[in-house]
């Protein structure tokens, strides 16, 4: 699916970035950045309820294309500035983490791990 | 932050040395040195998986220096076939390195966990992404972490 599909499925609002046609195949949902950094599986989308600049930096270190903030969390101006510098799309969804991850999974986005 | 020099392609790299001061008083800036190294390696044309391993390992080390040791210095040597990262701090030292290497073991306070780190994954992640890792630490004096990542031919 594309980042635009992610936006549509999660009823999300794009906060910054315009690379919405990029294809994404894997995602990761966590508030612990070290857990995100522990498993490199070419995830392109990070879902998080954590709001600080390290979320954007972690996404950048992992070459991720999009960060979705759940429960309507608002990224700060500093985070938006950093995401624009890195070319990362930021969006926010009113959905909770479990629901957001479940919807994306049900629509074909996977976690990159074997089940 | 100080950058010594950059060159055009990986094949022209000949012991490129980069030095960064990592500030301990601003968590939001933690990761700047790792980000700069990532950008440099990209410019030099290193393979994507090598760049990612270097970036993640150094980022975890940088975060550790900020949350445990009030900052420190990062020195990176770039050769065509090897990346060497040395992180040195004057923090409290690591009392039990073996325990610190276990996934999930953490001495980080709740405030750090609330920032998304301190889950006891820092050093294990560094080990996961590097080819060699040496930790020299002395209680009350500080810690020096040296990691290497080989670049496949």
A5 phi-psi bin (left φ>0, alpha ψ -120 to 50, beta other): alpha
Closest in B35, B56, B116 to A32, CB measured: B116
Is B14 a residue whose pLDDT tops 80? no
- pLDDT on residue B8: 42
Closest chain B C-alpha to A73 CA, distance in angstroms: 15
Q: Is residue A88 part of a domain?
A: yes
Do A17 and A35 contact (CB within 8 A), yes or no? no
Q: Is residue A111 part of a domain?
A: no
Residue listed under structure tokens 């950059």? B6
Q: Is residue A92 part of a domain?
A: yes
pLDDT in tens, B75-134: 999 999 999 999 999 999 999 999 999 998 988 888 888 889 988 889 999 999 999 999
Q: Is residue A65 part of a domain?
A: yes
Looking at residues B26-43, what average pLDDT do you find? 93
Which residues is B147 bridged to in the sheet?
B85, B133
- Residue ranges and CATH numbers for the domains of chain B are 23-94+123-150 (3.30.565.10)
Closest chain A C-alpha to B27 CA, distance in angstroms: 8
Number of domains within chain A:
1
Q: Taking Cα atoms as reference points, which of A49, A51, A47, A4 lies closest to residue A24?
A: A4
pLDDT in tens, A30-57: 999 988 998 877 779 999 999 999 999 9
DSSP-derived pairing of the beta strands B142-150 and B132-138: antiparallel
Instruction: Say how far residue A60 (Cα) sits from the centre of its chain.
Output: 11
Is B26 a residue whose pLDDT tops 80? yes
Q: Provide the ipTM.
A: 0.87
Question: What are the tokens at A20?
Answer: 């919405």
Comparing alpha-carbon positions, the chain B residue that sits nearest to A76 is B28
Do B87 and B33 contact (CB within 8 A), yes or no? no
Q: Is residue A28 part of a domain?
A: yes
Comparing alpha-carbon positions, the chain B residue that sits nearest to A62 is B52
Q: Is residue A114 part of a domain?
A: no
Q: Is residue A64 part of a domain?
A: yes
Q: Is residue A115 part of a domain?
A: no
Q: Can you list the alpha helix ranges (DSSP code H) found in B45-151? A: 48-69, 97-100, 110-113, 122-129
Domain that holds residue A19: 3-106
Question: What are the tokens at B105?
Answer: 């073991």
Q: Taking Cα atoms as reference points, which of A91, A106, A114 lies closest to residue A45?
A: A91
Do A45 and A28 contact (CB within 8 A), yes or no? yes
pTM exceeding the 0.80 threshold for the entire prediction = yes
Do A72 and A101 contact (CB within 8 A), yes or no? no
Closest chain A C-alpha to B4 CA, distance in angstroms: 22
- CATH number of A55's domain: 3.40.1390.20
CB contact under 8 A, A38 and B125: yes
CB contact under 8 A, B124 and A54: no
Looking at residues A2-9, what average pLDDT do you find? 98
CB contact under 8 A, A50 and B28: no
Instruction: Say how far residue A101 (Cα) sits from the centre of its chain.
Output: 10
The percent of residues in chain B predicted with pLDDT above 90, rounded, is 71
């Amino acid at each position: 699916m594309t980042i635009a599909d992610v936006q549509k499925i999660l009823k999300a609002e794009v906060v910054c970035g315009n690379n919405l046609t990029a294809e994404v195949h894997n995602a990761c949902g966590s508030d612990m950045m070290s857990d995100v950094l522990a498993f490199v599986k070419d995830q392109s989308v990070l879902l998080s309820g954590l709001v600080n600049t390290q979320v954007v930096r972690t996404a950048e270190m992992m070459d991720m294309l999009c960060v979705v903030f759940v429960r309507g969390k608002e990224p700060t101006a500093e985070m938006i500035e950093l995401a624009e510098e890195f070319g990362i799309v930021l969006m926010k969804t009113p959905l909770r983490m479990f629901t957001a991850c479940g919807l994306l999974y049900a629509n074909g986005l996977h976690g990159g791990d074997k089940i | 932050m100080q950058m010594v020099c950059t060159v055009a392609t990986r094949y022209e790299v000949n012991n490129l040395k980069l030095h960064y001061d990592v500030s301990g008083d601003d968590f939001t800036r933690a990761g700047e040195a790792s980000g700069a190294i990532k950008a440099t390696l990209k410019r030099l044309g290193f393979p994507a998986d090598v760049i990612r391993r270097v970036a993640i390992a150094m980022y975890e080390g940088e975060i550790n220096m900020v949350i445990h040791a009030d900052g420190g210095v990062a020195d990176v040597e770039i050769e065509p076939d090897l990346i060497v990262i040395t992180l040195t701090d004057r923090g409290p030292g690591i009392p039990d390195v073996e325990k610190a290497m276990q996934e999930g073991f953490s001495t980080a306070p709740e405030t750090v966990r609330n920032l998304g780190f301190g889950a006891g994954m820092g050093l294990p992640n560094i080990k996961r992404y590097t080819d060699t890792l040496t930790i020299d630490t002395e209680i009350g004096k500080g810690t020096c972490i040296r990691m290497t990542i080989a670049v496949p031919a």
